[in-house]
């Protein structure tokens, strides 16, 4: 095997930070990922050699390694293609963690080790080499990365145990896979289906001559296509495949038309798309892994623009993952201490930098679409751009104040920040930007209410002072500035409804079927409906009534704060938006004592009594400055 040294210049790092890295930088990252995969393979062999009992009755791992070496000498391009496939490196990482006791799941270890034989067999078949070896079969199925999966059409030949050995024999261009009593013959073109064989599908897109092409595997087969434990095949139906191909073609046209300078980078970065089950309403479920360079997991989006945005989003994760394997950008502090506008849970520094870089790309994408001639798409783009640009800037600002960044990380994110700041003054429809800002505040305020817990002594002191002031005494020794900061929890204490945010999205023209919209209206409260319609006084009144009946309703508290801030901006609503958990805790304590304060009266009194209360940072290293 050939080993290489890899280096990134500062010019390449700066280009990645600005979002202007071209295909050559991506290819450099790919070459480094190939070397990383080879290093992990070598580590697997070394670890397994120290514990030979882990291999069971498999073909020797060294025999599989030697077969890969034969492919290297015979057809090096074939080996490169197989080793570059995202789920080969994903398998290697998972297997090494199993060997070292850092991962646990019910599959036997020998089955993971044996997958090296499947990798070698796939490479040898593609190179036209004769082979005979044994590999693992799960429920009678054998996976060959980059080719497909063999299965037993007639279950009467199925092995009696979940895991068994299968034999692969290939000679003179004919390949047979024997599992139990059954034999499957691979078709001449392995991408085609045949009896007992599912070929790995591929989508090739070039919408017009001269346009940058995109080629993706649509992988519903590889056992290592998930994020954690191995998965069985989940074959997508023909109708759904056609839907994916149509949306991918339309999405790629959008990218090439509006971000042509990014098309080459995306094409070089993306290899495989794993279909996930459909999600509800506006939600697109997507993910990628730092161990699977070039692969995206995604549910079917509602339209081509959403698909294009998701490809951009995940490609940012892919590029940053490759960069991090070469350059340390941050320390390894594991504690979840950052608010992420795109997540419902607190994030560690490793997570917040991934999100910032991904949504930098998302903001760039929607900014480019905000100038389209399509009115509906233009409004959607303006909404999505506003929704993600400002929160990403704020998260970046707090990250740059964090001591966890290395010098390289600080330079990288400062370069990205310069680009983000240059987009601040975009001419966008005011109603759309207001709606997007409201959705962002909705999420942020819910997060504060769910994860920040105020100091109990502070709550008691404010409640006592409120009662004293009501009695006309106006004497208190309470000094909130000296109180302990809010505690960040690791688990939320309230449900996280999406109904209000979805309604607001609809109010600016983001699409939904009539049936879905009727369902959404039925789920919404009167306050939600009024807020989405821009009737802020009516909304505030409705939420006030809801709080009187259900003082613990988190959704009503957040909705009240949003409506009040829109109807009467001032210190009171600012305090409620910033420290909702504190106001709510005082409110509940007063009600338990027999008082009946109105939430806006209480928040206004608190903000007036202690003007600096809202400015006290509730979580010193949480990105909500």
- Does the structure show a pLDDT above 70 at 309? yes
Please check whether residues 460 and 570 belong to one and the same domain. yes
In a domain, 624, yes or no: no
Please check whether residues 564 and 457 belong to one and the same domain. yes
Please check whether residues 353 and 274 belong to one and the same domain. yes
Residue percentage of the chain with pLDDT more than 70: 92
In a domain, 304, yes or no: yes
Please check whether residues 455 and 505 belong to one and the same domain. yes
In a domain, 347, yes or no: yes
In a domain, 3, yes or no: no
Dump pLDDT digits (tens) for 250-283: 999 999 999 999 999 999 999 999 999 877 666 7
Please check whether residues 607 and 460 belong to one and the same domain. yes
Please check whether residues 179 and 230 belong to one and the same domain. no
Between CA 437 and CA 514, with CA 362 as vertex, the angle to 5 degrees is 65
Tell me the DSSP string of 140-180.
TBEEETTTEEE--SSGGG--SSSEEEEEEEEETTEEEEEET
Q: Would you call 186 exposed, middle or buried from its count of C-beta atoms within 10 A (0-12, 13-18, 19+)?
A: buried
Nearest C-alpha neighbor of 565 from the set 576, 553, 580, 554 = 576
Please check whether residues 128 and 184 belong to one and the same domain. yes
In a domain, 213, yes or no: no
- Does the structure show a pLDDT above 50 at 378? yes
Whole-number pLDDT of residue 622: 44
d(CA 422, CA 401): 20
Q: Read off the pLDDT of each residue in 161-173 and give the average, rounded to a whole number.
A: 92
The residue count for the chain: 625
d(CA 300, CA 239): 13
Dump pLDDT digits (tens) for 203-241: 999 877 778 999 999 999 999 999 888 999 999 999 999
Residue 298 is part of which domain span?
A: 218-421
The DSSP bridge partners found for residue 379 are none
Residue recorded with tokens 């259900």: 550
Dump pLDDT digits (tens) for 565-601: 999 999 999 999 999 999 999 999 999 999 999 999 9
Please check whether residues 50 and 174 belong to one and the same domain. yes
Whole-number pLDDT of residue 472: 54
Whole-number pLDDT of residue 510: 61
Yes or no: say if 125 and 172 are a contact pair by the CB < 8 Å rule.
no
pLDDT band at 619; cut points 50, 70, 90: very low
d(CA 391, CA 625): 11
Please check whether residues 66 and 152 belong to one and the same domain. yes
Between CA 223 and CA 228, with CA 226 as vertex, the angle to 5 degrees is 105
d(CA 255, CA 212): 10
pLDDT band at 518; cut points 50, 70, 90: confident
Whole-number pLDDT of residue 624: 40
CA–CA distance from 277 to each of 228, 282, 301, 308 (Å)?
A: 17, 14, 11, 18
Please check whether residues 357 and 474 belong to one and the same domain. no
Please check whether residues 305 and 403 belong to one and the same domain. yes
SS3 at position 46: helix
Whole-number pLDDT of residue 484: 63
In a domain, 167, yes or no: yes
Whole-number pLDDT of residue 466: 92
- Does the structure show a pLDDT above 70 at 618? no
Dump pLDDT digits (tens) for 123-163: 999 999 999 999 999 999 999 999 999 998 877 667 778 89
Number of domains in the chain: 3
d(CA 590, CA 66): 75
Please check whether residues 417 and 556 belong to one and the same domain. no
Whole-number pLDDT of residue 625: 36
In a domain, 28, yes or no: yes
d(CA 466, CA 98): 58
In a domain, 7, yes or no: no
Both tokens assigned to 500: 């209000």
d(CA 2, CA 5): 11
């Amino acid at each position: 095997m050939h080993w290489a040294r890899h280096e990134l210049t500062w010019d390449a790092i700066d280009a990645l930070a600005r979002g202007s890295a071209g295909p050559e930088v991506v290819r450099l990252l790919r070459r480094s990922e190939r070397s990383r995969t080879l290093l992990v393979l070598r580590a697997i062999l070394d670890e397994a050699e120290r514990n030979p009992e882990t291999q069971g009755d498999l073909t020797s791992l060294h025999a599989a390694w030697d077969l890969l070496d034969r492919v290297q000498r015979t057809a090096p391009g074939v080996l490169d293609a197989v080793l570059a496939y995202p789920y080969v490196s994903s398998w290697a990482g998972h297997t090494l963690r199993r060997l070292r006791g850092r991962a646990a799941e019910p599959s036997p270890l020998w089955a993971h080790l044996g997958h090296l034989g499947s990798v070698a067999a796939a490479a040898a078949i593609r190179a036209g080499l004769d082979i005979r070896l044994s590999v693992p079969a799960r429920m009678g199925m054998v996976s060959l990365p980059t080719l497909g999966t063999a299965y037993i059409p007639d279950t009467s030949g199925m092995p009696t145990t979940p895991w068994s050995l299968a034999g692969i024999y290939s000679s003179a261009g004919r390949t047979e896979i024997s599992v139990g009593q059954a034999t499957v013959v691979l078709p001449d073109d392995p991408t085609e289906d045949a009896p007992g064989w599912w070929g790995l599908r591929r989508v090739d897109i070039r919408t017009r001559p001269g346009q940058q092409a995109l080629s993706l595997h649509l992988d519903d087969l590889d056992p290592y296509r998930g994020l954690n434990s191995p998965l069985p095949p989940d074959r997508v139906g023909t109708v759904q495949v056609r839907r994916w191909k149509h949306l991918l073609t339309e999405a790629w046209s959008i990218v090439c038309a509006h971000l042509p300078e990014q098309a080459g980078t995306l094409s070089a970065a993306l290899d495989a798309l794993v279909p996930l089950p459909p999600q509800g309403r506006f939600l697109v479920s997507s993910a990628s892994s730092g161990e699977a360079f070039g692969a995206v997991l995604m549910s079917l989006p509602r339209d081509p623009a959403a698909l294009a945005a998701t490809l951009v989003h995940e490609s940012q994760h892919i590029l940053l993952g490759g960069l991090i394997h070469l350059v340390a950008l941050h320390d390894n502090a594991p504690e979840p201490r950052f608010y992420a506008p795109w997540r419902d849970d607190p994030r560690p520094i490793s997570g917040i930098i991934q999100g910032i870089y991904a949504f930098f790309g998302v903001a760039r994408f929607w900014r480019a679409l905000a100038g389209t001639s399509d009115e509906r798409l233009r409004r959607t783009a303006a909404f999505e751009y506003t929704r993600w640009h400002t929160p990403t800037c704020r998260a970046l600002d707090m990250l740059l104040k964090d001591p966890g960044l290395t010098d390289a990380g600080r330079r990288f994110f400062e370069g990205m920040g310069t680009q983000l700041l240059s987009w601040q003054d975009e001419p966008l429809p005011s109603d759309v930007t207001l709606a997007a800002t409201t959705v962002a505040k909705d999420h942020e305020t819910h997060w504060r209410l769910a994860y920040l817990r105020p100091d109990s002594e502070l709550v008691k002191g404010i409640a006592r002072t409120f009662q004293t002031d009501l009695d006309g005494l106006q004497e208190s020794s309470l000094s909130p500035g000296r109180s302990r900061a809010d505690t960040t929890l690791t688990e939320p204490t309230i449900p996280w409804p999406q109904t209000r945010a979805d309604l607001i999205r609809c109010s600016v023209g983001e699409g939904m079927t009539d049936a879905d919209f009727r369902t959404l209206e039925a789920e919404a409260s009167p306050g939600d409906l009024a807020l989405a319609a821009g009737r802020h006084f009516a909304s505030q009144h409705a939420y006030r009534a809801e709080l009187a009946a259900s003082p613990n309703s988190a959704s009503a508290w957040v909705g009240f704060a949003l409506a009040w801030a829109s109807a009467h901006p001032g210190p009171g609503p600012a305090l409620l938006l910033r420290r909702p958990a504190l106001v709510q805790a005082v409110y509940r304590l007063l009600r338990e004592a027999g008082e009946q304060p109105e939430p806006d009266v209480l928040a206004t009194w608190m903000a007036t009594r202690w003007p600096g209360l809202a400015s006290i940072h509730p979580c010193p290293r949480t990105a909500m400055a």
